[in-house]
């Protein structure tokens, strides 16, 4: 299974002196001890969302023809994917530009002839997401049969699962901080501690690994591979 680690970091200032009342703060502030502690928690989580990106490319002497062909291809693709409720679909970047298929024209070439050589090229991407790997792979095969080309195919963590894991990691890290704070207070002969500052820096960066996209899409199945830990 493809997994990765979610790190969460916590840091706060620990007051080694006993908790005091507001009117006593000024008098006892100078004798207080401030300690900064940090802790982190991590967990392997199976990535549950398969994300794919494809593009359609069109070349033609007529720019309007290029745009029209792209629009028709994208509409057909989106309409087909929307039939499958398990797959979320969205359209991405779109561009059209002209270029010379023979980039080294002869010096004797007139500006009119150079203009005639120009070809318009257009492209647009379509992005698919699903927790059902088999359904998205079957759909990729259909889109490739329509002329779409793979840009990328990889597993990632769904937003809802990522948020749930962050909550668990936060609780684990806070418990570690509590244990450390109690130990420091006891070692320094203090009766307790108070939190002066708390910083939470939770983040995760799952590595993106491209798959053997065309063969996998047409091959039928795709397993979640094991990712190495950082």
Please report, in tens digits, the pLDDT of each residue of the chain (230 residues total).
444 444 444 444 444 333 333 343 333 334 467 777 777 777 788 888 999 999 999 999 999 999 999 999 999 999 999 999 999 999 998 999 998 887 665 566 677 777 778 899 999 999 999 999 999 999 999 999 999 999 999 998 888 888 888 888 888 888 888 888 888 888 888 777 777 777 776 555 454 444 444 334 444 444 443 333 33
| Domain that residue 31 falls in | 3-46+160-202
Q: Flag whether 190 is in a domain.
A: yes
The per-residue pLDDT for 131 is: 95
Which residues, in sequence order, are CB contacts of 137 under 8 Å at separation 6+? 216, 217, 219, 220, 221, 222
Structure tokens at 100: 């010379």
Reported pTM: 0.63
Q: Flag whether 228 is in a domain.
A: no
DSSP tag of 31: G
Q: Flag whether 22 is in a domain.
A: yes
Do 82 and 142 share a domain, yes or no?
yes
The per-residue pLDDT for 165 is: 80
Do 42 and 61 share a domain, yes or no?
no
The per-residue pLDDT for 133 is: 93
Name the nearest CA neighbour of 121 among 89, 94, 139. 94
CATH number, domain with residue 91: 3.30.70
Domain boundary pick from 121, 155, 189: 155
Domain boundary pick from 98, 129, 155: 155
How far apart CA 126 and CA 89 sit, in angstroms, is: 7
Q: Flag whether 225 is in a domain.
A: no
- Going from the C-alpha of 138 to that of each of 18, 77, 117, 141, 150, the distances in angstroms are 64, 13, 40, 5, 14
205 φ, ψ (degrees, to nearest 5): -130, 80
Structure tokens at 13: 């200032």
**Within 13 Å of residue 96, how many CA atoms lie on the same side as its CB?**
16
Do 39 and 85 share a domain, yes or no?
no
Do 55 and 148 share a domain, yes or no?
yes
**Within 13 Å of residue 104, how many CA atoms lie on the same side as its CB?**
0
The per-residue pLDDT for 146 is: 96
The per-residue pLDDT for 104 is: 63
Q: How many domains does the chain have?
A: 2
Do 60 and 147 share a domain, yes or no?
yes
The per-residue pLDDT for 161 is: 86
């Amino acid at each position: 299974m493809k997994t990765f680690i979610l790190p969460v970091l916590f840091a706060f200032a620990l007051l080694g002196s006993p908790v005091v009342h507001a009117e006593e703060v000024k008098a006892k502030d100078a004798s207080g001890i401030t300690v900064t502690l940090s802790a982190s928690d991590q967990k392997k989580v199976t990535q549950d969302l398969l994300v794919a990106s494809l593009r359609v490319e069109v070349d033609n002497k007529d720019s309007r023809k290029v745009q029209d062909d792209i629009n028709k291809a994208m509409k057909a693709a989106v309409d087909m994917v929307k039939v499958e409720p398990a797959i979320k679909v969205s359209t991405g970047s779109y561009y059209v530009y002209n270029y010379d298929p023979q980039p080294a024209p002869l010096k004797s070439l007139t500006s009119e002839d150079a203009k005639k050589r120009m070809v318009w090229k257009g492209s647009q991407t379509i992005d698919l997401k699903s927790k059902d790997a088999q359904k998205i792979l079957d759909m990729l095969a259909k889109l490739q049969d329509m002329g779409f080309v793979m840009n990328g195919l990889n597993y990632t963590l769904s937003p809802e699962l990522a948020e749930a894991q962050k909550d668990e990691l936060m609780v684990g890290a806070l418990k570690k901080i509590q244990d450390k704070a109690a130990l420091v207070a006891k070692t320094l002969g203090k009766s307790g501690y108070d939190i002066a500052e708390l910083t939470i820096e939770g983040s995760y960066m799952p590595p993106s690994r491209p798959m053997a996209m065309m063969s996998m899409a047409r091959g039928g199945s795709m397993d979640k591979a094991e990712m190495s830990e950082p």
